[in-house]
Amino acid sequence: MNNNCIDIIKLGGAVITDKTEYKKIRFPELNEICQQIGEWGKPCIIVHGAGSFGHIKAKEYNITSGFQEPSQVQGLIQIRKDMHELSSIVVEELTKANLKVMNFQTSSLIYSRKEGKQHEYFLNPIQKAMQLGLIPVLSGDIVFAEEEDFNILSGDLVIDILANNFQVDRVIFITNVDGLMVTNPELNQEECLLNASSEDLESLSFTSAISEDVIDVTGSMKGKIDSIRSILKSVNEIIIVNGQKNKRVLDALKEKEVICTRIK
């Protein structure tokens, strides 16, 4: 799609919700992050994770396995309702930060084929919204699927699809850790990887996930690294920054020096 270069911002589920408790929002963190995005104020697309509004019920109803029994349909209904509630809260907080945002339901735009590895999508509404000066807000979601009837489409995969169809400069992952953590063999301690390339991701051993998720049904650490490598094929830079630390998000958005992981 032909549009001006933008950034995609991912609000990690582990930083905007408490993933140990069903449907619990971290309002101070969410509000502060939204205020920083508002102060930055440039065109972007925002994607948020499911956090405790999605992962807990998805595990309870075994949604990752696709349709297996009728009782899962009730889980599907509940998770869609919960995700609508979370998206409404995120949009409200972004609106308080004077951002012109509009929520789009991911499962209404994307259809999954071939065991979740191929997708059909209709992104023209996203493009038109941006042409009108709006900031689209999407999320990870349960999408209908050709073979499994439904499956989970992670926020990272949503970003990958968007990055393949729009001209994207950076993807900024806002999470609850400083970045990708690696072990320094000389000091025998964990430290944040500040700069890396896609090739580095193949050889380095990471000691913790991008977000310290208690319940995460969207994949392992390897899956997250694979997602990053895939996204890097379409964008210039990926930034992983701690949204719980004072003003780091704003500094990262403004390309200032800040503790974070930058992957080019």
- What is the pLDDT, as a whole number, of residue 210? 53
pLDDT per residue as tens digits for the range 137-149: 999 999 999 988 9
Q: Which residues are registered as beta bridge partners of 110?
A: 121
Helix, strand, or coil (residue 177): coil
Mean pLDDT of residues grouped by 10 in the chain (264 residues)?
A: 80 94 97 98 97 93 90 95 98 98 97 83 97 97 92 94 97 93 76 87 66 48 81 96 96 96 94
Largest alpha-carbon pair distance within the chain? 55
Domain range list for the chain? 6-263
Which DSSP string corresponds to 182-224? EEETTTTEEEE--EE-TTHHHH--EEE-SS--SS-TT--HHHH
| pLDDT tens-digit series, residues 26-40 | 999 999 999 999 999
Structure tokens, 49 = 């994770």
| Model pTM score | 0.91
Q: How far apart are CA 49 and CA 18, in angstroms?
A: 12
What is the predicted pLDDT for the residue at 191?
Answer: 84
- Report the C-alpha gap between 263 and 165 in whole angstroms: 21
**Helical H runs in the chain?**
13-16, 27-40, 55-60, 71-96, 124-131, 155-165, 200-203, 221-231, 248-253
Q: Which CATH number fits domain 6-263: 3.40.50.12780, 1.10.10.60, 3.40.1160.10, 1.10.20.60?
A: 3.40.1160.10
Q: Which of 65, 8, 21, 31 is nearest to 217 (CA)?
A: 65
